[in-house]
């Protein structure tokens, strides 16, 4: 009754009639709703989705066909991987990688002595695991192992020492993943201590120390790695007294160590700057000297902050080790380059297979490291999270 009387009155904005029920809500869950929201929400989005899908259609199926479906998994020589001989379309020639995996891993390291390289790989994995696993016990011993014991043991193990029954193996025979890892490890083992020293020097109050460190860091960071490597390769022998020959593998190692130190120094400097001034002042008020202040108070905090930065630098270094290829050191890329033109495996898809193998190796290593760095970053940020 009341409604009737109102509608009959002058209140024209009051609805006279109950409105129709709204249609039920469109799908809000389920795959179709998801696609509508995320892929086809508007006309430009739909076009974009279709374009990307078309690109994926162009790219992914041939790749899958090349890598897996048409791939040749077994075979002894090029006959298995040539279309005219195998009688079917041939994709990746994994048989080539299987056949040459020893060469890709050890280079020309004598077959009878390859167990030494395997032991070295295991020692490396052990040391890295100890250092990188954040909850590992006694990581200080781990650091001592990785930065002191491990380098000496590696040297003895890989180059050989007659007195303990290890045949000497010339570095000219080293190659493949062994050299790639070796160059990276030398880079990290030397760059971390030198980088810390350079970073401390750059923030030192002594003007000459600061100047020397700044010049070193900025010059090295300002030039490409290739020029440093070529410099190490051509100029190192010049700077040493006549008669001293520098090992062909040692030269790039020196170059990489110098190069990595400069980059590491900047990473560590970032950490030093992030430590609050109160920490320095607190240490000084306790009467600690410079080295104890740095070693006991500042560096432990600074290094913890820059673990992700160190890992990122290491990823860059790991990728850059491939440049030793340029000065003729047989790293993984160089072994692939020399194996892919071997007439025994002369087949059209062998080169691409070699590159695919290298890509897989580098991607797994670098992607794993970057995930690790993200994980550490998240853990370090946990204290700041609200």
Partner 1 sequence: MSSIARAPQPAKASFVNDPKVRGIVYQIVLVAVIVGLVWMAASNAIENLRAAKIASGFGFLNSTSGFDVSQTLIPYSATSTYGAAFIVGLLNTLLVAAIGVVLATFLGFLIGIARLSSNWIVARVATAYVELIRNLPLLLQLLFWYIAVLRSLPEPRNSLGVGTSVFLNNRGLYIPRPVFAPDAWIVLAAFALGVVAAIGYAVRAHRRQAATGQQSPVISASIGFVVGLPLLAWAVLALVAANPISFDLPIKGTFNLRGGLQVFPELVALTLGLVIYTAAFIAEIVRAGILAVSKGQTEAAHALGIKPGHTLRLVVIPQAMRVIIPPLTSQYLNLTKNSSLAVVIGYPDLVQVFMGTVLNQTGQAIECVAMTMAVYLTISIATASFMNWYNARKALVER
The contact set with partner 1 (CB under 8 A) reads 38-39, 41, 45, 48-49, 52-53, 55-56, 205-209, 212, 218-219, 221-227, 230-231, 234-235, 237-242, 315, 319-320, 322-323, 325-326, 333, 337, 351-352, 355, 358-359, 362-363, 366-367, 370
Please give the structure tokens belonging to residue 228.
């440093």
Nearer to partner 1, 155 or 291 (CB): 291
Nearer to partner 1, 162 or 205 (CB): 205
Whole-number Cα distances in Å, 337 to 54, 180, 328: 34, 14, 11
Please give the structure tokens belonging to residue 256.
């990489």
User: Least distance to partner 1 from the beta carbon of 321, Å?
Assistant: 8
User: Least distance to partner 1 from the beta carbon of 76, Å?
Assistant: 24
For 93, list phi and psi in degrees, rounded to 5.
-100, 75
Q: What is the distance between the terminal CA atoms of the chain, rounded to a whole angstrom? A: 58
Nearer to partner 1, 213 or 306 (CB): 213
Whole-number Cα distances in Å, 87 to 32, 62, 76, 82: 45, 19, 16, 8
Contact present, 228 and 280 (Cβ < 8 Å): no
Please give the structure tokens belonging to residue 93.
């020639």
Please give the structure tokens belonging to residue 213.
């460190």
Please give the structure tokens belonging to residue 385.
């999270």
Nearer to partner 1, 36 or 139 (CB): 36
User: Least distance to partner 1 from the beta carbon of 208, Å?
Assistant: 4
User: Least distance to partner 1 from the beta carbon of 9, Å?
Assistant: 38
User: Least distance to partner 1 from the beta carbon of 195, Å?
Assistant: 18
User: Least distance to partner 1 from the beta carbon of 240, Å?
Assistant: 6
CA–CA separation, 254 vs 236, rounded Å? Answer: 9
Nearer to partner 1, 243 or 276 (CB): 243
Nearer to partner 1, 303 or 376 (CB): 376
Nearer to partner 1, 208 or 382 (CB): 208
CA–CA separation, 14 vs 243, rounded Å? Answer: 106
Burial of 176 (0-12, 13-18, 19+ CB in 10 A): buried
CA–CA separation, 294 vs 280, rounded Å? Answer: 8
Residue with tokens 């790695």: 225
User: Least distance to partner 1 from the beta carbon of 160, Å?
Assistant: 30
CA–CA separation, 155 vs 151, rounded Å? Answer: 6
Nearer to partner 1, 143 or 327 (CB): 327
Contact present, 200 and 271 (Cβ < 8 Å): no
Nearer to partner 1, 146 or 362 (CB): 362
CA–CA separation, 177 vs 109, rounded Å? Answer: 12
Give the three-class secondary structure for 174: strand
CA–CA separation, 147 vs 130, rounded Å? Answer: 12
User: Least distance to partner 1 from the beta carbon of 315, Å?
Assistant: 8
User: Least distance to partner 1 from the beta carbon of 75, Å?
Assistant: 21
């Amino acid at each position: 009754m009341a409604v009737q009387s109102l509608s009959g009155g002058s209140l024209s904005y009051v609805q006279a009639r109950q409105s129709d029920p709204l249609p039920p809500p469109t799908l809000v869950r389920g795959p179709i709703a998801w696609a509508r929201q995320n892929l086809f929400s508007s006309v430009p989005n739909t076009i974009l989705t279709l374009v990307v899908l078309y690109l994926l259609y162009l790219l992914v199926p041939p790749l899958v066909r090349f890598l897996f479906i048409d791939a040749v998994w077994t075979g002894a020589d090029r006959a298995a991987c040539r279309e005219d001989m195998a009688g079917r379309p041939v994709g990746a020639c994994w048989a080539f990688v299987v056949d040459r995996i020893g060469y890709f891993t050890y280079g020309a390291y004598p077959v009878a002595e390859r167990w030494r390289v395997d032991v070295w790989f295991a020692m490396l994995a052990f040391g890295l695991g100890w250092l990188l696993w954040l909850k590992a016990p006694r990581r200080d011993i781990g650091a001592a192992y990785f930065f002191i014991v491990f380098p000496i043991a590696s040297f003895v193990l890989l180059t050989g020492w007659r007195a303990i029954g290890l045949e000497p193996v010339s570095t000219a025979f080293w190659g493949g993943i062994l050299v790639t890892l070796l160059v990276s490890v030398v880079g990290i083992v030397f760059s971390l201590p030198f980088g810390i020293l350079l970073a401390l020097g750059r923030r030192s109050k002594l003007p000459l120390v600061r100047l020397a460190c700044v010049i070193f860091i900025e010059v090295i960071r300002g030039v490409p790695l290739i020029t440093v490597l070529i410099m190490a390769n051509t100029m190192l022998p010049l700077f040493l007294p006549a008669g001293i020959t520098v090992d062909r593998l040692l030269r790039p190692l020196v170059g990489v160590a110098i190069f990595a130190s400069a980059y590491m120094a900047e990473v560590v400097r970032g950490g030093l700057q992030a430590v609050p001034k109160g920490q320095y002042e607190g240490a000084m008020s306790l009467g600690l000297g410079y080295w104890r202040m740095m070693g006991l108070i500042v560096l432990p905090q600074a290094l913890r902050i820059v673990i992700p930065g160190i890992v990122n630098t290491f990823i860059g270094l790991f990728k850059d080790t491939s440049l030793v290829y340029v000065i003729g050191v047989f790293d993984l890329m160089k072994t692939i380059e020399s194996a892919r033109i071997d007439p025994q495996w002369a087949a059209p898809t062998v080169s691409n297979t070699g590159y695919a193998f290298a890509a897989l190796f580098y991607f797994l290593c670098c992607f794993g490291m970057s995930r690790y760095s993200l994980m550490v970053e998240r853990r370090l940020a946990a204290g700041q999270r609200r």
